[in-house]
Amino acid sequence: MSNPNLRMLLSKRLAGALAILAVVALSVAACGGSSGTAPAEPAAEAASAPAASEPAPPVAPPVPAPPVEPEPEPDPPPEPEPVEPAPSPAQSVTSADGLLTIEVPEGAIADVSTQISARALGPDELPAELAAFELRGTVHELGPDGSTFDAPVTVTRRVDTDALGVDLDDGVPVIALASLSSDGTWDVLADQTITLEGTTAIVSGTTTHLTTIVAFGGAAQVSMRPDNIKRNEKSSWTSQVWVLATQDAAEDFTPSITNVESSVGPTGALTAGKTSIDAKTERGKAKFTCEKAGRDDFSVTVSLSNSLAFLALIGLDEAAGIASTTSVTLEGKARCNAATPPPADPVADPEDPLADPSDPLTELDGPDSSGASPAEVPSSCGVDLMPFENTSNELVGEFMCPVPVQTIVLDPLEPPDVIIQCFVPGGSCEPQGDGSWTFNVPDSDSGEFFFRFDGNAPPGVMLSGSVVPSDGFESLDDPSWQSTTP
């Protein structure tokens, strides 16, 4: 180029372009970093050496994920245990006069805050329904009035038999516990029992509600004979129990014996035998045996049906019609005597030839000809006299022997014709020419015979006689007997 200006202009533009390229080169170098790696080959060279083509590896199908088990739902929290209310506590309450006690078992009261009370009523507090009765004892009120129970409660009443006008020699009085509600309704306590402590009758029964409690009694008595007896070891006797009506015209209201049970004390001197009810006389019987020497108690418990029928006699027809059973326990005492031991055999003296037991001229005494060991020989039989039911001119004699007997002899009385009639269950009887009477009884170690007087039986008279044992008089030490009329 000849134009210098043009060359200068081109030179300046070329210098500007190089400067721009230099800036770009520096910028690329800066992006490559400072690690010292060689600069990348030009793209043209890379394109001139393409990589060999290889087939793509097969692609495996995707593995399905295992199923995810759902998380179990947590158990619901346990419901709280229901809190049972504490049962009502047992209570035993006695009236201030000490005559009535009520015993409430645990849990019998729905309201645990209920407090039981028992108190004697004064004369001005008595219910109007009692105005017609002759009261010989105390009437008690149990409170709170009208309270009811989920289980029966036991009411025990102590009754003074002297105040009741009862002679315990005639037996245990039949006493009934009746309740009078505030609405005037009469009821009777269930499961009634009667025992004696001295001259006090202990009467118990159960109820499920609280009301006024009244003790009625004296219309009948339960007797047992014998109730105080002496026997030798290995000998037996039978005690009999019967019911005697004490009210006039009360024959239809006399309780009946339906069951008999017996028991003995803890000393081991006695054992209790079989019990029974005589269908003809309606008496309960219980057999006892002296097993060894010593003293012991025995008891007979009889169950009485129709035990509240006598309440009709005093106007309580509603209460009298309620089916009821009363248990009466009668107690007795026995003394068992040790039998006399047989004599010891003599000891032979070797220097005395006459003492040789083998010598027939010096034969030793052998056993009694009856064959009875001295340990089995009793002293005598016993006879008890008592009124027959509610009569005044008839007596029943009860005999108890350790050996069977066949005849009871009653010695003559004065005047001799004072006895006019006799009777023996299962046997016979007849007067004798000397004024005595013989009662032929079935062979037995116990039984009874009856006789009637011409007029009232004389009280407090000593009667006597003898017994004829079935095995002969050798089986008894003393066949005689004595007893006083009631």
- pLDDT, residue 153, reads 93
- pLDDT, residue 408, reads 92
pLDDT digits (tens, 9 = 90+) for 156-194: 999 998 888 888 888 899 888 888 887 778 788 889 999
Average pLDDT of span 300-306: 89
- For residue 293, being part of any structural domain is answered with yes
pLDDT digits (tens, 9 = 90+) for 464-478: 888 888 877 777 777
Average pLDDT of span 32-46: 46
pLDDT band for position 45 (cuts 50, 70, 90)? very low
- Out of 317, 337, 357, a domain closes at 337
Q: How many domains would you assign to the chain?
A: 3
Q: Are strands 100-104 and 91-94 parallel, antiparallel or unpaired?
A: antiparallel
pLDDT digits (tens, 9 = 90+) for 404-424: 888 999 988 877 778 888 888
- pLDDT, residue 123, reads 86
Q: Do residues 253 and 191 share a domain? A: no
Average pLDDT of span 247-251: 51
Residue tagged 């590896």 (tokens): 57
Q: Do residues 97 and 127 share a domain? A: yes
- Out of 192, 220, 248, a domain closes at 220
Lowest mean pLDDT among 48-57, 105-114, 306-315, 428-437: 48-57
pLDDT at 344 over 60: no
- Rounded distance between C-alpha atoms, residue 140 and residue 23, angstroms: 131
- For residue 441, being part of any structural domain is answered with yes
- For residue 50, being part of any structural domain is answered with no
Tell me which of 62 and 117 has the higher pLDDT: 117
Q: What is the DSSP letter of 162?
A: H
- pLDDT, residue 47, reads 44
- Rounded distance between C-alpha atoms, residue 331 and residue 197, angstroms: 10
Tell me which of 67 and 377 has the higher pLDDT: 67
Q: Do residues 312 and 385 share a domain? A: no
Average pLDDT of span 347-371: 38
124: which residues sit within 8 A by CB, 6+ positions away?
A: none
Contact 442, 428 (CB under 8 A): no
Q: Do residues 162 and 243 share a domain? A: no
Contact 255, 305 (CB under 8 A): yes
Helical (H) or strand (E) element with 350? none
Residue 306 sits in a domain whose CATH number is 2.60.40.10
Q: Do residues 200 and 242 share a domain? A: no
- For residue 113, being part of any structural domain is answered with yes
- For residue 22, being part of any structural domain is answered with no
Q: Do residues 303 and 239 share a domain? A: yes
Per-residue CA distances from 420 to 207, 450, 452, 453, 454 (Å) = 52, 11, 6, 6, 6
- For residue 421, being part of any structural domain is answered with yes
- Rounded distance between C-alpha atoms, residue 211 and residue 127, angstroms: 11
pLDDT digits (tens, 9 = 90+) for 100-118: 999 999 988 877 778 899 9
Q: Which domain holds residue 127?
A: 91-220
The neighbour count for residue 182, using CB atoms within 10 Å, is 10
330: which residues sit within 8 A by CB, 6+ positions away?
A: 171, 172, 196, 222, 223, 224, 227, 241, 299, 300, 301, 302
Two tokens, residue 158: 């102590």
pLDDT at 11 over 80: no
Two tokens, residue 41: 């080959």
Average pLDDT of span 265-281: 90
Coil, helix or strand at residue 397: strand
pLDDT at 273 over 90: yes
- Find, among 172, 121, 174, the residue nearest to 145 by Cα: 121
Average pLDDT of span 450-455: 89
pLDDT digits (tens, 9 = 90+) for 191-219: 999 999 999 999 999 998 888 998 887 67
Residue 475 sits in a domain whose CATH number is 2.60.40
Coil, helix or strand at residue 48: helix
Phi and psi (nearest 5°) for 435?
95, -5
Q: Are strands 462-469 and 480-484 parallel, antiparallel or unpaired?
A: antiparallel
- pLDDT, residue 29, reads 42
Q: CA dihedral in degrees (474, 475, 477, 483; nearest 10)? A: -120
Average pLDDT of span 292-297: 93
Q: Do residues 116 and 213 share a domain? A: yes
Tell me which of 247 and 180 has the higher pLDDT: 180
- Rounded distance between C-alpha atoms, residue 466 and residue 409, angstroms: 5
pLDDT band for position 10 (cuts 50, 70, 90)? low
pLDDT band for position 94 (cuts 50, 70, 90)? very high
- For residue 30, being part of any structural domain is answered with no
The neighbour count for residue 239, using CB atoms within 10 Å, is 26
Per-residue CA distances from 144 to 124, 327, 411 (Å) = 20, 29, 65
- Rounded distance between C-alpha atoms, residue 275 and residue 259, angstroms: 9
Single-letter residue type at 98: G
- pLDDT, residue 469, reads 86
- pLDDT, residue 179, reads 87
pLDDT at 30 over 50: no
Helical (H) or strand (E) element with 304? strand 294-305
- Out of 276, 306, 337, a domain closes at 337
- pLDDT, residue 82, reads 78
pLDDT band for position 341 (cuts 50, 70, 90)? low
- pLDDT, residue 294, reads 92
Q: Do residues 117 and 234 share a domain? A: no
- Rounded distance between C-alpha atoms, residue 378 and residue 233, angstroms: 8
Residue 105 sits in a domain whose CATH number is 2.60.220.30
Q: Do residues 95 and 201 share a domain? A: yes
The neighbour count for residue 393, using CB atoms within 10 Å, is 15
Mean pLDDT estimate for the chain? 77
pLDDT at 89 over 90: no
- Find, among 212, 336, 289, the residue nearest to 445 by Cα: 289
pLDDT at 93 over 90: yes
Q: Do residues 211 and 228 share a domain? A: no
Q: Do residues 396 and 468 share a domain? A: yes
- Rounded distance between C-alpha atoms, residue 433 and residue 456, angstroms: 24
pLDDT band for position 48 (cuts 50, 70, 90)? very low
Q: Do residues 157 and 216 share a domain? A: yes
Query: Percentage of the chain with pLDDT > 70?
Result: 75
- pLDDT, residue 351, reads 47
Per-residue CA distances from 460 to 93, 378, 463, 485 (Å) = 46, 28, 9, 5
Q: What pTM, to 2 d.p., does this model score?
A: 0.57
pLDDT at 128 over 90: no
- pLDDT, residue 326, reads 87
pLDDT digits (tens, 9 = 90+) for 437-449: 999 988 888 888 9
pLDDT band for position 44 (cuts 50, 70, 90)? very low
pLDDT at 121 over 80: yes
- For residue 347, being part of any structural domain is answered with no
